[in-house]
Amino acid sequence: MIRPILRYGDRGLGAPARPVGEFDDSVRQLIDDMVETMYAAPGIGLAATQLGIPLRVLVVDTTAGRTVGQLIALVNPEIVERAGTQLEEEGCLSVPGFNATVVRPSRIVLKGYDRDGAERIVEGKDVLARAFQHEIDHLDGTLFVDRLRGIRRDLIVRKIQKLQRSGKW
């Protein structure tokens, strides 16, 4: 089922998610819904918090579904290693229409669990590392806009506020 994606300013996006305690059918259904929602958006990553679900679950597919076997779904992910730096532009399904350059690690290793509770360790480099860090940020209550400083952040926030006032957000 495709679910609505919260947007910048919506309640819940800024709150940290809590760990999943039990790997049951509701978690598996959430993952399935997240994947369907991400592909329909279309996007390359989605965190459960973006759907208003305060659980530590993320899905990432940097091919946006174009290549079979690239989908990664992690429950209770945590960063165990990060290295390097990359400075690239990124966007967000919760901040549609806006992009900005954000500093991210160029390599990241996550430890988490698959949909059935089996432990997984996954390494991401370049765009996959960026996507992992972006989604982990969501689970921690941070959006890419929160990582910006100065005039770039102010411009995006003011434009969103203007869209909100006009009912177009």
| Active centre residues (catalytic) | 135
Question: 13 to each of 10, 32, 92, 157, how far by Cα in Å?
Answer: 6, 20, 12, 15
Pairing mode of beta strands 72-83, 57-60: antiparallel
Q: How far is it, in rounded angstroms, from Cα 47 to Cα 38?
A: 9
In whole angstroms, what is the distance from residue 92 CA to residue 153 CA?
Answer: 14
